[in-house]
Structure 1
Amino acid sequence: MLKDMGRVNPDFYPKPIIQRPSQTAGVQMDWDDRPDDYLTKENFVKVYEKCGAILHSDNPFGSKVDYDYYQSSLPKWRMEVVNLLNAHTIKLVGDRNLYCPLPH
């Protein structure tokens, strides 16, 4: 799915940023690139597969679900998703503009 989206729009994945009030007249916010504490496109695939595996029926003859792994991993995954989506920029196909959705 992500590869298909990337073929249509190489910049489809949100780019997380850190916003801070600007000291420049007429500018509301300045932003910096977020460090690596967010859900990257590569890790999205891994987390998606892990979550999908636990959401679907168990194979009674397969390996058992390691619930301790999920319990320890979920807080980190949640933080990474929040850091990705809380403040980010996006680029639309065929549009020269860069968009930064306003916080609610």
Structure 2
Amino acid sequence: MANFKVYSSARKDHLSEWHASRFLRKIEALNPAFYPEPMAQKEGYLPYTNLDLFTGNYLTRSEFETLYDICGGFMHSENPYGDPHRYEELLQQSYGWLEKIVNLLNLHIVTFADGEEGCLILMGGGEEVSFATFGPPVQK
């Protein structure tokens, strides 16, 4: 999270919050633009130039909540009186989830809590991650 210090100083319970929708609402109260924005590089331009919002299939905030809750359910023991974990079904779904996560994070913008500064992050599937910071618009 790009604003960990801001969030942790404001919310002492951040390490014990287990419900995605609750902790996302807490983060959003501190930074309404906290969720990564997936970007797309236009063909034929230098990196970090001529970007558009990515409009393909990526992990939305709502889907993040769903996936977080699904994974949380699998991390706990099965309830002997409830439905058994469906591991094979989760494995089959994991490929689609992975594609959405990669599409979200491959090239994305993270906006800091001040709403004017942030980073453009290029993960690109390699071992090296590169980024470029940006600040508020220059006033003339």
Please, what TM-score do these two structures have when normalized by structure 2? Answer: 0.65
Give the superposition deviation at 1:18.
1.1
Pick one of 54, 71, 74 that aligns with 2:74: 54
Would the alpha carbon gap of residues 41 and 69 (structure 1) be closer, same or farther in structure 2, given more than 3 Å must change?
same
Contact 2:38 2:109 in 1 (8 A): yes
Counterpart secondary structure, 1:99: strand
Distance 1:102 1:95 in 2: 20
Structure 1 vs Structure 2 CA RMSD: 1.9
Identity, % of aligned pairs?
Answer: 30
Query: Does structure 1 residue 22 correspond to structure 2 residue 42?
Result: no
d(CA) in 1 for partners of 2:107 and 2:83?
39
Q: Which has the higher contact order (CA 8 A, sep 6+)?
A: 1
Q: State yes or no: 1:80 paired with 2:103.
A: no
The answer on 1:89 being equivalent to 2:136 is: no
Task: State which of 56, 62, 79 in structure 2 corresponds to 1:42.
Answer: 62
Map of 2:84 onto structure 1: 64
> CA distance change for structure 1 residues 94 and 78 in 2, over 3 Å: closer, same or farther?
same
Gap runs ≥5 in structure 1: none
Amino acid at match of 1:16: P
Superposed CA deviations along residues 28-71 of structure 1, whole A, max 9, x for unmatched, are 52211111411100010001001111111111111111223212
Match of 1:4 in 2: 26
Tell me which residue corresponds to 1:99: 119
How many matched pairs? 101
- Match status 1:32 vs 2:52: yes
Unpaired runs of 5+ residues, structure 2, are 1-22, 124-128, 130-140
1:42–1:87 Cα change, 3 Å: same
Any runs of at least 4 consecutive aligned residues in structure 1 with deviations exceeding 3 A, and if so which? Answer: none
TM-score under structure 1 length normalisation: 0.85
Q: Distance in 1 between matches of 2:26 and 2:56?
A: 24
